[in-house]
Amino acid sequence: MTHYSLIYAPDPVLRAKAEMITAFGAELQDLVDNMVLIMRQEKGVGLAAPQLGVLRRAIVVEVAQAIERDGELIDPLPLTLLINPEITPIGNDKADGWEGCLSIPGYRGYVERWRHIAYTARDINGRPLQGQAMGFHARVIQHEVDHLNGILYTDRTDRIETFIRPTAISPPDDVSGEQ
């Protein structure tokens, strides 16, 4: 297996548009295996090939078990691979929500996204697939598809005051034992 590593902003690869995938075979499988491995190791819920320095249109998303995030219960989402994904909003509803990124570690920002999307893509064998996603799952897919177009979540807001280091707002551990 080829070894890939995460790349971090401001690496210019993160600002480049990824190319369509036309060859479905062992090389693509190797890339996808690495994407899944790294996403899980880093405890992410999504990863795009450009985040490994590979300008190809592939994303993986997964919520392995139900989680609570920002007061909302997020249902599990089985491992999903989308090759050459295209998304279309369903309806006009958007929602603001916190996002982070494995390529911008240590920060979160408040970003507006479509609540409900439809997507078309290819699977690992090049067969067409389609589906819909709502809420957090739709947010993750939109975030990862943005990576394929050289867009970072920091580009999706003009309110710099919404960018935080989550550790900065967490109460410190009380090591003194005092109340």
Annotated binding residues for Fe cation, written as ranges, equal 101, 143, 147
Separation CA 102–CA 36 (nearest Å):
13
Three-class secondary structure of residue 77 per DSSP: strand
Contacts of 104 (CB under 8 A, 6+ apart): 8, 9, 152, 153, 154
Active site residue 144: yes
Q: What are phi and psi of 71, to 5 degrees?
A: 80, 5
Continuous H helices in the chain: 26-41, 135-148, 166-169
Binding residues, by number, are 101, 143, 147
Query: Which residue out of 19, 42, 68, 144 is catalytically annotated?
Result: 144
Q: Which residues are catalytic?
A: 144
